[in-house]
Amino acid sequence: MQTLVIGYGNTLRGDDGVGYLAAEQVADWNLLDVTAIACHQLTPELAAALTECDRVIFIDATLPGTETAVQVRSLQPATVASLDAHRSDPAELLQLTAQLYGSSPPAFHLLLPTAEMGFTEDLSAIAQTGLEAALQKVRALLKGEGA
């Protein structure tokens, strides 16, 4: 089963970059059936990559202080695809993929806890802990252990 992992966020805004960093670490695993993309935001061009996989795992940061643990959610395509450059929504990307290519892959969304999104390249302790937990959850999903 070919899996695409997309981690996104701004690495110059502290914990906001935790999804990006997670995707970089997944890429370092060099798994044959896993492709990882680290990007700053979800863009319509990613729809083509979604057609090449059997499932996709999106990884992103939550707003500071809103979560204390990694959340794993199953995703369905949005009812309307309206990606814009100021917010990233994986459900809308799934819908766009379905509109353009006729279907979209099963998807999961990992949301990582954060504490700070100031101008820094460092992660807070909570984001670092969330990153480690998220990588364990990605491994579990890759083994078919579900959300």
Considering its fold, how many domains does the chain have in total? 1
- pTM listed for this prediction: 0.94
The CATH number linked to 68 is 3.40.50.1450
The pLDDT value given to residue 82: 64
Q: What angle do CA 98, 39, 17 make, to 5 degrees?
A: 125
Tens digits of residue pLDDT in 15-59: 999 999 999 999 999 999 999 999 999 999 999 999 999 999 999
pLDDT of residue 145: 79
The order of strands in the sheet holding 107-112 is: 34-39, 3-8, 55-61, 107-112, 71-75
Domain that holds residue 42: 3-142
Asked if residue 147 belongs to a domain, the reply is: no
Per-residue pLDDT, averaged over 2-25, amounts to 97
pLDDT in tens, 84-121: 655 668 999 999 999 999 999 999 999 999 999 999 99
Considering only CA atoms, which of 60, 70, 68, 71 is closest in space to residue 16?
Answer: 60
